[in-house]
């Protein structure tokens, strides 16, 4: 039986359970949710399958250990105790990514420097020389996470975070990360077999991720992974990935459902068009100018509407009163579309009451540092309207606040 690695996949807060479901589908074993990610076991081929296919994970880490690391010397000693010669050689480059929480150290750069010093000093002692540091494109990425005096050290299998699919050539202000958009689609139950509409598509992230799902295209098919350059695991990883990529390309399918993105901004539509073409989904995703508060008829048969409306900074003047008016009009517009499930990612506590409809499903998630709520509005049996509540009626619904206020 192939040796299984103990791994940790990171994700946006509030999407850990969605990532756990995805990892199970991808063949991971002994899955356990944790804050900010999911721990799991996988053989090398299964781990590479996760890197290639996970739509929700941000990073896939290979933990090396946890240590008590008091002070600068304790930090150095903890790092120096790791057998780095088993993971690095003098012919590869490496870099250290450090992040801190509630520590005595003021700057992550200082911690990264101490970790780097301990690694090169040990390798110089063990191997007679040291590898070079490359902060731009290292062969091996070392991740140091320090909480108070507890240090966790890991190697990053993927390198550039997995949300960087390679298609975002023209971003817009406040873009939604690709892996979060994919998580929202999973939460809404999207499988690529029903129509998808984003009436405020911005740079097109939601419809592009929907297109990748509908096309059954691996999100990592167009990129390489850091593990392919690891000195001891790289040759086998490259061999396995060649087979996995070939299988992924063979199993793509034709998209049979409409995927539509609308926006009233000409600049946003231009960016979305370039991104859609970069994702090679020009035939699968259609874009058009449209006002979400005056949305016209959509394809018959219904489907899923998923959107991320502005939280307050991108609508110009009017303040909170203007936002509430916009949300109210948005509710009227989407309610007039029979047969469509409506899901909204809201970052404004005033949204739910102004939208004048009660959600059937509510999920707290974080869009970067912004606490948000994903709200799902579904048509009850026998009714054609996708959201509850009478048209024009503003229901008094308490605003949803996240459980965690810290970033």
Are the beta carbons of 63 and 154 closer than 8 angstroms?
yes
User: Is 337 in a helix, a strand, or coil?
Assistant: coil
Architecture of domain 178-217+254-377: 3-Layer(aba) Sandwich (3.40)
Residue 389 has what pLDDT?
30
Closest-CA residue to 245 (of 277, 223, 278): 223
- Over residues 32-89, the pLDDT tens digits come to 999 999 999 999 999 999 999 999 999 999 999 999 999 999 999 999 999 999 999 9
More confidently predicted of 113 and 322: 113
Residue 3 has what pLDDT?
86
| CB within 8 Å of 357: residues ≥ 6 apart | 331, 335, 377, 387, 388, 389, 395
Q: Break the chain into its structural domains and give their ranges.
A: 5-156, 178-217+254-377
Band (pLDDT 50/70/90 cuts) for residue 313 is: low
Mean pLDDT of the chain: 90
Across the range 294-308, mean pLDDT stands at: 92
Residue 319 has what pLDDT?
65
Q: Scan for tokens 């700057």, then name that residue.
A: 107
CATH topology of domain 5-156: VC0802-like (3.30.2130)
Q: Is 280 exposed, middle or buried (0-12, 13-18, 19+ CB in 10 A)?
A: middle
Question: Do 178-217+254-377 and 5-156 fall under one CATH topology?
Answer: no
């Amino acid at each position: 039986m192939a040796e299984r690695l103990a791994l940790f996949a990171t994700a946006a807060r509030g999407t850990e359970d969605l990532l756990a479901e995805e990892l199970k589908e991808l063949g991971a074993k002994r899955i356990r949710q944790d804050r900010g990610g999911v721990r799991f076991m996988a053989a090398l081929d299964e781990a590479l399958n996760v890197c290639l296919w996970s739509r929700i994970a941000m990073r896939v880490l290979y933990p090396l250990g946890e240590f008590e690391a008091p002070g600068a010397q304790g930090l150095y000693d903890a790092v120096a105790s790791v057998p780095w010669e088993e993971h690095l050689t003098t012919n590869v480059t490496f870099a250290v990514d450090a992040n801190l929480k509630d520590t005595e150290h003021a700057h992550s750069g200082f911690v990264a420097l101490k970790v780097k010093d301990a690694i090169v000093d040990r390798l110089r002692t063990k191997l007679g020389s040291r590898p070079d540091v490359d902060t731009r494109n290292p062969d091996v990425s070392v991740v140091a996470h320090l909480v108070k005096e507890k240090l966790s050290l890991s190697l990053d299998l993927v390198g550039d975070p997995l949300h960087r699919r390679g298609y975002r050539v023209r971003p817009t202000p406040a873009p939604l990360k690709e892996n979060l958009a994919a998580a929202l689609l999973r939460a809404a139950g999207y499988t690529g077999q029903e129509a998808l509409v984003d009436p405020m598509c911005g740079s097109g992230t939601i419809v592009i991720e929907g297109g990748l799902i509908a096309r059954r295209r691996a999100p990592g098919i167009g990129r390489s992974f850091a593990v392919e350059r690891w000195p001891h695991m790289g040759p086998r990883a490259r061999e396995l990935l060649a087979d996995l990529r070939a299988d992924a390309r063979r199993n793509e399918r034709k998209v049979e459902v409409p995927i539509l993105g609308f926006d009233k901004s000409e600049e946003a539509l231009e960016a979305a068009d370039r991104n859609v073409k970069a994702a090679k989904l020009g035939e699968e995703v259609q874009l058009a100018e449209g006002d979400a508060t005056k949305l016209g008829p959509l394809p018959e048969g219904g489907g899923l509407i998923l959107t991320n409306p502005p939280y307050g900074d991108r609508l110009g003047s009017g303040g909170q009163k203007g936002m509430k008016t916009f949300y109210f009009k948005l509710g009227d517009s989407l309610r007039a579309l029979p047969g469509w499930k409506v899901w909204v990612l809201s970052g404004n506590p005033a949204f739910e009451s102004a939208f004048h409809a009660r959600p059937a499903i509510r999920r707290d998630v974080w869009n970067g540092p912004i606490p948000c709520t994903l709200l799902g509005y579904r048509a009850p049996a026998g009714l054609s309207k996708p959201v509850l509540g009478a048209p024009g009626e503003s229901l008094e619904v308490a605003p949803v606040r996240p459980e965690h206020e810290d970033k």
